[in-house]
Each structure stands twice: as structure tokens, then as C-alpha cells.
Structure 1
Amino acid sequence: MAFPDRRHEPVRHESPTLRALRRHWPTAAVVVAILAIWQIWVDAAHPPVTAIASPSRIVVAAAQAWPTLWPATLVTFAEGVCGFLIACIIGVLLGVGIHCSRTAYAALFPLLAAAQTLPLISIAPLFLIWFGFEPVGKVVIVAVFALFPIVVQTMRGLEAVPAFYDDVATTCGASRAWTLFHVDLRVAARQIFGGVRVAAAYVFATAATAEYLGARRGLGIWLQAAYNSFQTPLIFAATFVIIVMTALLLLAVHAVERLTIGAPGDDEDPDA
């Protein structure tokens, strides 16, 4: 029995848009299902509006409060992004320094680990005393809490670089510094971006919480006002705004990763 020869048939390649849809449609479907069930349950059970609000009511409340919600969002967004960028720069530099020096590791790493065990509610009053109600205190808090995962992943990424990369570069006459910044960091970049993503996941929540404990403007103060007036739909609206901002920041990190070192699948191709 003869089988058809398929060797010369053209290979079908999916477009990036189709691949993205195929990859993300299950998440979108689950989100839509959760919102639908939520809306139907609230409409059927009629729980107290001070306890929970339906998605449609949250959207209406957010639209009505948009003149005050948008300025508060801009403040928290600026604080989160500034603190995040500072954490990225200092975190990578500290990770490189700790990787290169055991003395730096012994001196700095325990302090960085201890800083992560401090609850925000206990150190925010100190920053309030030091920096007052100005946004700079919130930027510093965000940078401090976002620093640790970036430092750790930078260290682990550099330690995981195979030794033969350094051997080849040194054999070709490269200096240790050149090898570190042009070879080791490039190989470790994927893991470093993993730490950056972890940090990006909670910068806006940290900024809003710090504002809630003491600030003049921002989503934290806006949330506090909504809570004090028992405006549950507005509390949900601010929560969703923080979620959206976090998603946008994660997308930005993903875009920078693809532009600088390529898609994650490129690592499987030695010629990429």
C-alpha cells in the first residue's frame, strides 16, 4: 500500500497573533466565566451592597468616580514605576557585586534578606517620619521591597553560567570585567528577568499600601476614603485598577525581555 509523499508539502506556520490567541484564550475564558458567575450570583442572591458589589455596579461606580480615581491612579503609578526602576538598577548592580565578592555577600546579603522580613506596617511609619507625606517615601519603600528578588535572581543567574563561557572568552583575550558584562550577564539575563517579573508583580500593591498608611494623594488614600464611607464598589474599582496596572507593567517587562534577549523559545536554538 503506497502512502502519500508529504515531504514537499509547505510547512504551515501560525501567525504570532494566532499563537497568542491560542495561548491566552483559556485564561480569558476563565475570567469571563468568573465575572459572569459573579454577576449572576449577586443578581440572584441580593447580598448587602456594603458586603459585595456586582461587576456591573463596580464599573458604573468607577465611571462615576473617574474624575478623582484617575489622578489617584497616576500618583500610585508614578511611585510604583519609579521605585521599580530604582530597584532594577540597584538590584542588578548589587547582585553582580555580591557574585564577584564573597566579602560583599557576607556583608550585604543577610541585610537584604532581613529587610524582606520586615512587615510594611511597621516600617511605613518610620518612612512617614523621615520623608513626610511626600511620594518620595513611597518610592523608597517600593524600591526596598522590590530589591530582594532581583538581587537573588541576578546572583543565581550568574552562578549558573557554565564555566566554559568564561574559559572561551578568557582564551580569546577578554578581560574579567568584559566577560562579566558581555558574556555572563547575557547568559544570566533570562533568570534576571525572572526576578524582575517577581518584583513587578507587587510594586503597585506595595505603593498603595504605603499610601494607605500615610500620604496626601494616591490610590491608598482613595481606598481609605472609600472604606470610611462604606463604598464597597469603589474599593473593588481601586483593586481592579491596581491589577490592571500590574498587568501592564508585567507586559512591559515581557516586551523589554523579548527586545533585548529574544523570546524564551530562542534559548533552545544554539544559533539564535
Structure 2
Amino acid sequence: MKALTRALPSLLIVAVLAALWEAASHWFGVPDYILPSLDSIFATMAGQWKGTLASATWTTTVEVLAGFALSFVVAVTLAAALHSSRTARNALYPLLIGSQAVPIVVIAPVLTIIFGFTITPKLVVVALICFFPIVVNTVDGLASVDPELLRVLRTLDGGKWATFRRVEAPAALPSMFSGLRIAATYAPIGAVFGEFAGSQNGLGYLMLQATPQLETSLVFAAIFILTAEAIVLFLAVTAIERICCPWEREGKRS
């Protein structure tokens, strides 16, 4: 009941936007190839699900999940290395920041040339988009440990590994999950960028094929599916955070 109450303002905004959308498409004379009505979009989604949308959705979902998992492994490993070595942090952190200045739309075609029309360039693009917020938030979380806890471990002759495992890693979990939630919303975007650069299936590929044929309802259907994937992945990360960080939830309540 509380969750429904919290979601009610968002649902009302969505309902108002849907009403305005329907009014524009049905009553204000906006052509269907520019702004199809919601009922035509959902009809297209239902009619073409078995034919093309199901296969495209599965392909993009695999790319999103695999690329997201790859970004998580790389980002957490890199964050631990940056935290444990000041030399590595001074050498690599500026390069990480500079890498975000390179447009991903430029990198994606190069990766397609290197790896071909396989899943590999899509995974790399998703990982490149997702890993930066995870790295930054995890590094900040590892550095935000209470100094008193570190002093206690030192008095108990705790080594670096014991300190990392017992204090630093648990303290960094809330920050890491904040980065994961941000990355979860970026992952479908990365998959679509990769498919735009070169693919043979997927929702991005489907959108490229539908746009010149003015199948706008199919384009919007793919957009709705991508939006749903981002929301589901975000909620999944949030649910895992509640399991892994129960103390954080209790602290917010108190």
C-alpha cells in the first residue's frame, strides 16, 4: 500500500501524458507516421511480437544483461585497484575521466569494424557506458569508511585484506549500488548504440529498419520495450541492494 501511495504521483503524470498523447493523435490531426496513437502502438506490439519483436527483444536483452555484468566486474575490480594503490589512482583516474569525453557513437562503429557483426561490440559499448558511474561511486564508497573502524582493525593487527573484506567493502556497498542504479538506466542505451553501428538483429536494428519505412508505431513499440527493460533492471538492482545492505534500509527508516 505504501509503495502504491509513493507511485501514485508518477502514475498520475503518466496518465496525463497519455491523455495528451491520445488527444494529439486522434483529435488534433497529427499524422500517424509522426505520432501514432497509443492503441496503434500496442496493437503493433501485439501483432508483431511473435514475428519480429520477440526475437529483437531477446537479442537486446542478452546484450544489456551481459554488458551490464561485464561492466560490473571490470568496474569493481578497477575500483578496488584504484583504492588500494595511490599510484594506480593518480595514473588511471584522469584517464577514466578523459575517456568519458569520447562520444560513444564514434567508438561503436570502430568496434564493429574490429569485431564484426557479432555480440562483442555491443557488449563493449554497454560496458563502456555503464562502468564509469560504478567505478566512481565504488571508489568514493571505499574512501568513505569511518576512520575509527580502521583504527580498531589496526589495533587488532588487521591486514589490508581483512580491512577490505570486513570494513571497506561493506561500507562501499551503498555507494556501489548507487552507481549500479545509474548504470542500469544507461545499459539499454548502450545496446541500441551498438546495434545502430552494425547488427543483424535487436531493437536498435529494428528501429533502423522501421524508420525509413515510416513504421513509427513499430519504432515507438521498440522504445517502450527499451524503457521497460531499463525500469526492470533498475528495480532489480534496487531489490538486490535491499538484500545485500539491510543496514542501509534500517538507517534510512530511523
TM range (shorter): over 0.9
**TM-score, structure 2 normalization:** 0.95
Distance 1:269 1:72, change over 3 A: closer
| Aligned residue runs from structure 1 range 31-70, under 5 A | 31-67=14-50, 68-70=52-54
1:146 Cα deviation (Å)? Answer: 1.0
Q: Which AA in structure 2 matches 1:146?
A: C
Counterpart for residue 235 of structure 1: 219
**Given the alignment, which residue of 70, 88, 98 partners 2:72?**
88
Aligned to 1:7: none
Measured after TM superposition, the shift of residue 263 of structure 1 is: 6.8
Measure how far apart 1:178 and its partner are. 1.1
1:109 aligns with one of 75, 93, 97: 93
Superposition RMSD in Å: 1.5
Structure-2 residue corresponding to 1:201: 185
Secondary structure of the structure 1 residue equivalent to 2:100? helix
Counterpart for residue 252 of structure 1? 236
Paired residue for 2:132?
A: 148
2:174 paired residue number: 190
1:161 equivalent in alignment to 2:137: no
Q: Identity across aligned pairs (percent)?
A: 34
**1:105, CA displacement in angstroms?**
0.9
The CA distance in 2 between the partners of 1:256 and 1:54, in whole Å, is 37
Q: What is the CA distance between 1:264 and its match in structure 2? A: 4.2
Give the direction of change, closer, same or farther, for the CA distance of 1:41–1:264 in structure 2 (3 Å limit).
farther
Rounded to whole Å, the distance in 1 between the matches of 2:248 and 2:27 is 45
Letter in structure 2 aligned against 1:83 = G
Paired position in structure 2 for 1:10: none
Inter-partner Cα distance in structure 1 for 2:54 and 2:38:
19
Deviations along 1:51-100, whole A, 9 cap, x unmatched?
Answer: 11111111111111212011101111101111111111111111111111
Where structure 1 has 5 or more consecutive residues not aligned to the other structure, the ranges are: 1-17
Residue deviations 1:148-192 (CA, integer Å, cap 9, x gap)? 111100111111112111112222332221111221111121111
Deviations 1:23-47 (A, max 9, x none): 1111112112211221123211121
The TM-score with structure 1 as length reference comes to 0.89
Q: CA deviation at 1:115?
A: 1.8
Q: Which has the larger radius of gyration?
A: 1
* Contact 1:170 1:176 (8 Å CA) reproduced: no
Q: Distance in 1 between matches of 2:15 and 2:253?
A: 37
Return the letter of the residue paired with 1:166: L
List alignment gaps of at least 5 residues for structure 2.
Answer: none
